[in-house]
Structures are given as structure tokens and as C-alpha cells.
Structure 1
């Protein structure tokens, strides 16, 4: 499972000219799901996202003192199979590494539920729909998480 996490002042998602989700200060997450993803991958993404210290403290002394939970921020979750694009050959990306919708949608729904369990305000787009996402990056601060990295050895 992959997540592109963006620290935002505000973000919204629109489907067919209707806003389906919006948040103020918090995190916008683009989520990609692959065939091998399990509940352990989901838990890794949720735990890392909720506890990663990427917000400044109230004094603004540093940009890395508080988590989204600490600030009571919102979460906007957007499904995005293109995070598993392969571009090794040719000029058109391939998406065979992305999970099929019948596998990805239930996993995405579980992810939404896991984030909601945190008590934070969680908003979403519409799975599989063409969406327009508007964000106002704070920083900008963008971090890529890949659950496949959770078992990789630490360097040095």
C-alpha cells in the first residue's frame, strides 16, 4: 500500500461538480493499493500517518513537532490506483501492479474505517470516480509512505 501524504491548510474533492469531502488543516492522502496488501499493510499506513510528527508546535519553533492527532486535524482520503503505475517500457504507463477494484475497494473502505476509529474528522472522494482535488499545501510538505518498506532494514 502506498500513500502520498500532503500537509494542507485546506483540501477538497469534487465529483460531478459536487463536493464529496473537504477539510481544513490536516492531511490529504492519495492511497494506492496493490495485490499483496494485507491488514498489516493497512495498519502500517494508518499508524505512521496518525503519529508522524510533521506539524509545527504552537510556537512555530520547528516544523516537525506534532502529529495530525496532536493538532486534531482532518484527513482527506483519495483512492488513486495510479500510484502503482509502471513506466519501464514504452510511453504509456501500465497499471498491472494496482489491485483490481473488487480487491481495492473493500481494502480502501477498511482504511477509511481505521482512520475514523482515531476520532479525527475523515472525508473521502468516491472510489473509482473521476475526481477533482484541490489542496492548499502547507510548507509544502509531501511524504511518500510504502508499506513494503516497513520490513526493510534501517540504514547505518
Structure 2
């Protein structure tokens, strides 16, 4: 799995002009993508990494200050731009595989104690955020750098 983790002052998701999710206070915005090789164990490992990642003010983690988290599915994190100008999405898992794993990521975060808001899987979403720092971190469960 891949995640873009951004420290935000605020974040929200709209579908068809209606706000369906928003953070009640500063926290983390997570764009999460799933590859073909991913499983529930990657979702759990990613949740633990995100919950403990010390990127908030004072080098604190979301778990230290009970920061809320907004998770948005993002298959485009698996884009391949190696050839030509049109990205290939073939490395992204299909919805039938990725939707349950994004939900598992959310469930694992909640099991750790996080307050989690969710985008709507497969919908055309308008995601708004005010980045704080800005601090943005890319996490790839196949390459834990």
C-alpha cells in the first residue's frame, strides 16, 4: 500500500457539492492507494505507522494528541509514467480488491484509537486541505524508507 500523509490545519471531502467528511480540528489527511500485492497485513502495518508518525507540532504523533485523520482512496498513487505522456494505472489493484483494504486501513486506525473520517470510494471527490508546515510524507509498504 502507498499513502501520502499530510499534516493539515483543515481538510474536507465533497461529493456532488455536499461535504461528506471533514476534520473537526487539525490532523492528518491520508491519500491511500492499494497495489495488487497488498493484503490486510499491509493495511495494519500502514495504520500503525501513520498513527505513530511523529510529524505534528513538537515532533508529536497523531496518537500523542488524538489528532483526527481523513482517509481518501487514491488509486492514482500507483500510476506509472515511465512511457509516454499518459499514465498507466495497471499497478493499482481493482476496486473489488482495494476498497476493502482502504476500509481495513480505516478500521485498523480506529482500533488504535484514531478518530477517522472517510472519503467515498470510487466517487469523484473534491478534496480540500490547508497544509500545515507544509509537511507531507510518502509511505510505501514495499519500501519502508
Sort the TM-score into its range (normalised by shorter chain): over 0.9
Residue from 59, 63, 77 that aligns with 1:69: 63
Q: Please, what TM-score do these two structures have when normalized by structure 1?
A: 0.89
Indicate the SS of the match to 1:95.
Answer: coil
Q: Which has the larger radius of gyration?
A: 1
Task: Output aligned runs, 1:2-81, within 5 Å.
Answer: 2-23=2-23, 24-57=25-58, 65-81=59-75
Q: Please, what TM-score do these two structures have when normalized by structure 2?
A: 0.95
Task: Output aligned runs, 1:96-107, within 5 Å.
Answer: 96-107=90-101
Distance (whole Å) between structure 1 residues aligned to residue 123 and residue 107 of structure 2: 20
Tell me the matched-pair count. 144
Q: Provide the residue aligned with 2:130 in structure 1.
A: 136
Distance (whole Å) between structure 2 residues aligned to residue 69 and residue 25 of structure 1: 13
Distance (whole Å) between structure 2 residues aligned to residue 134 and residue 2 of structure 1: 20
Flag structure 1 segments of 5+ consecutive residues without an equivalent: 58-64
